[in-house]
Chain A
């Protein structure tokens, strides 16, 4: 382990004959050797297919409650059958369809919240790392956010803004925007710190000096020269951020302060299932399993990505 990398990493002198390997190819080759990450990618791919293609195949309305009272009562709490492979819930809604639509919202929340958090984090990290005058205040702000009790604050934010936003944008879009922004605004600190550290180191490198000496404005230096070089740690932070956002959203839903029941997520389905878990444990198991698998898969992918994007590990 200690002497292997020297032998492998030095390219042969006649390497001109082989086509140059691109970075993404190198990263992908390294990523493929991480078994957990490949398994994670497979599981996540299947879950995405389930929520994206599933509703096209399984055309049952997840919010359909039989208007006929007698038929509705008959259709409640059905065990799994061909008509509804995962059974029905306490209002006779099809669980498979609800799992699909819930997964769509859960994954969308994870993705959008991650994008917001990475955007804020990168912005603050770059500003703090590049402009020395902003470094102090912005890093104090980051420390302040790190010291905030995030879960209680998220709960308070949801409680205070839910009705107003639901009135402005409708219950679905309102809750979605609120939760996505609340999670994004409370989870950017780690990526900001990582980006700042990278930018501080990159700023002193010769290529940045060269760009500056030919008169490139800070905006161009940041966008053309610095940002492409911080992309790998940001990607790792982003991947792990998706997992964090999905967990946070399901925690909020589980505490009854997330999405409304007619617009469920996996977390909300689990919360709804808890009341019936003695008689119908599968109603808790499926959404819980889906959340856990997603988070586990995303975490493994993040692990693999970290190894693959680290030049000290890659190619060993």
Chain B
């Protein structure tokens, strides 16, 4: 198991390096970069100074390695300094946002909690809804519950989140007035009153994200349960005289959850991507909104860093899914 994990970890490093190169080059070599957008009225010497100040006169490779060093060495050092009170980073140059001139990671640090609260709750809710529905649908295949569940899953999977979000706003915020349509990120939970307010403002974004993800997870749970319910060991367990409850919830469910767990792990980076849309709909001030804002403002360091963080998340959760699969299913490990 250890060699399997180490092999997976080592494979992740070149992948990450290649992705970072792709992102860096795409942003850097594109014709629409802000270097080409300095107004023509700016005199040439000033223009030259501006380019130098942004470090854009260096060769591409030099800038790429500097960026890598900043991302993998300087920024973690600053984070550790912040936690431990050491001075490992000294006063090395950090990645600065062109919009606000403040370090990109500080902005991300401010934005991340919002995203994580909404996304984390949504994903938890999605899993909690999807598993029972998937299990029961498979157990009573072709019953009315299964038909309904499959249909709702198909709808939840097909209807884009920006439409469900807008629909919920129209129904619950505009017509019924139950929930606020705009997420207030400055709200601090201090007592029951503000806690209730927080729950109300989180209700709609969480519902939207949870519906979309629950649809996918319940489809997987259902098909995985169906595969296992018709296996010989399920028949054996029944033949031994075990109760239905034990057969389904112990024997079959445990084996069916193996692929579902990996799907859940693999879905986490996607949900971050989906959060970009949801944050835009409900005006949640998270990292997705930061990315959109940075794109509209042509803030390249911010865009590069955020995109790369999304890539790191994907690679990380792929890794976690692989390791989990190996841990749960010994046949996968081949060591």
**A-B interaction:** yes
- Give me the interface of A with B, judged by CB distance under 8 Å: 36, 143-144, 147-153, 155-157, 159-164, 243, 247, 250-251, 254-257, 270, 274, 277-278, 281, 284-285, 288-289, 291-292, 295-296, 299-300, 303
B32 CB to closest chain A CB, in angstroms?
4
Q: What residue in chain A is nearest B306 (Cβ atoms)? A: A152
Q: B90 near A: Cβ within 8 Å?
A: no
Q: What residue in chain B is nearest A257 (Cβ atoms)? A: B295
B33 contacts across to A, CB distance below 8 A:
160
Scan residues 145-178 of chain B and give those whose CB is less than 8 A from a CB of chain A: 154-155, 157-160, 162-163, 166-167, 169-170, 174
Interface string of B275-308 (1 = CB under 8 A from A): 0110011000000000110011010000100110
A148 contacts across to B, CB distance below 8 A:
19, 22, 311, 314
Contact (A270, B163) CB under 8 Å given A144-B19, A147-B19, A160-B27: yes
Cβ contact within 8 Å between B314 and A149? yes
B273 contacts across to A, CB distance below 8 A:
149-152
Cβ contact within 8 Å between B314 and A296? no
Partner pick for B31 among A161, A270, A295, CB 8 A cutoff: A161
Cβ contact within 8 Å between A291 and B160? yes
Q: What residue in chain A is nearest B160 (Cβ atoms)? A: A247
Cβ contact within 8 Å between A292 and B159? yes
B298 contacts across to A, CB distance below 8 A:
159
Cβ contact within 8 Å between B307 and A288? no
Cβ contact within 8 Å between B163 and A292? yes
The count of A-to-B residue pairs whose CB atoms sit within 8 angstroms is: 126
- What 8 A-B pairs have minimum CB-CB distances, sorted nearest first? A149-B310, A160-B30, A288-B163, A160-B32, A296-B158, A164-B31, A292-B159, A152-B307
Q: B318 near A: Cβ within 8 Å?
A: yes
Q: What residue in chain B is nearest A288 (Cβ atoms)? A: B163
Cβ contact within 8 Å between B280 and A151? no
Q: B102 near A: Cβ within 8 Å?
A: no
Cβ contact within 8 Å between A159 and B32? yes
A159 contacts across to B, CB distance below 8 A:
32, 295-296, 298, 303
A313 CB to closest chain B CB, in angstroms?
14
Q: Is the interface of A mostly helix, strand, loop or mixed?
A: helix
Partner pick for A153 among B157, B166, B307, CB 8 A cutoff: B307
A157 contacts across to B, CB distance below 8 A:
26, 30
A151 contacts across to B, CB distance below 8 A:
273, 276
Complex CA gap A187/B166 in Å reads 27
Q: B10 near A: Cβ within 8 Å?
A: no
A289 contacts across to B, CB distance below 8 A:
163
Complex CA gap A14/B15 in Å reads 59
A23 CB to closest chain B CB, in angstroms?
26
Partner pick for B280 among A161, A254, A270, A278, CB 8 A cutoff: A254
Complex CA gap A295/B158 in Å reads 6
Cβ contact within 8 Å between A149 and B269? yes
Cβ contact within 8 Å between A295 and B295? no
Q: Supply 27 A–B pairs (Cβ within 8 Å), ascending by A.
A: A143-B15, A144-B18, A144-B19, A148-B19, A148-B311, A149-B314, A151-B273, A155-B292, A156-B307, A157-B26, A159-B296, A164-B31, A164-B32, A243-B158, A250-B162, A251-B162, A255-B292, A256-B292, A256-B296, A257-B295, A270-B162, A285-B170, A292-B155, A292-B158, A292-B160, A296-B154, A296-B158
Contact (A163, B32) CB under 8 Å given A148-B22, A277-B169: yes
Cβ contact within 8 Å between A160 and B159? no
Contact (A255, B277) CB under 8 Å given A156-B307, A295-B158: yes
Q: B327 near A: Cβ within 8 Å?
A: no
A97 CB to closest chain B CB, in angstroms?
22
Residue of B18, B19, B162, B307 with most partner-chain A CB within 10 A: B162
B296 contacts across to A, CB distance below 8 A:
159, 256
Complex CA gap A162/B32 in Å reads 8
Q: B253 near A: Cβ within 8 Å?
A: no
A6 CB to closest chain B CB, in angstroms?
16
Interface string of B245-289 (1 = CB under 8 A from A): 000000000000000000000000100010011001100000000
Contact (A254, B311) CB under 8 Å given A143-B15, A284-B170, A299-B154: no
Complex CA gap A163/B318 in Å reads 35
Q: What residue in chain B is nearest A160 (Cβ atoms)? A: B30
Q: B131 near A: Cβ within 8 Å?
A: no
Q: What residue in chain B is nearest A281 (Cβ atoms)? A: B170
Complex CA gap A159/B18 in Å reads 22
Q: B119 near A: Cβ within 8 Å?
A: no
B203 CB to closest chain A CB, in angstroms?
18
Cβ contact within 8 Å between A147 and B314? yes
B323 contacts across to A, CB distance below 8 A:
none
Q: What residue in chain A is nearest B230 (Cβ atoms)? A: A2
Given contacts A152-B303, A159-B32, A255-B277, 7 further A-B contacts (CB under 8 A): A148-B22, A159-B295, A161-B32, A243-B158, A281-B170, A292-B159, A296-B154
Partner pick for A281 among B158, B174, B311, B315, CB 8 A cutoff: B174
Partner pick for A274 among B27, B30, B166, B315, CB 8 A cutoff: B166
B169 contacts across to A, CB distance below 8 A:
277
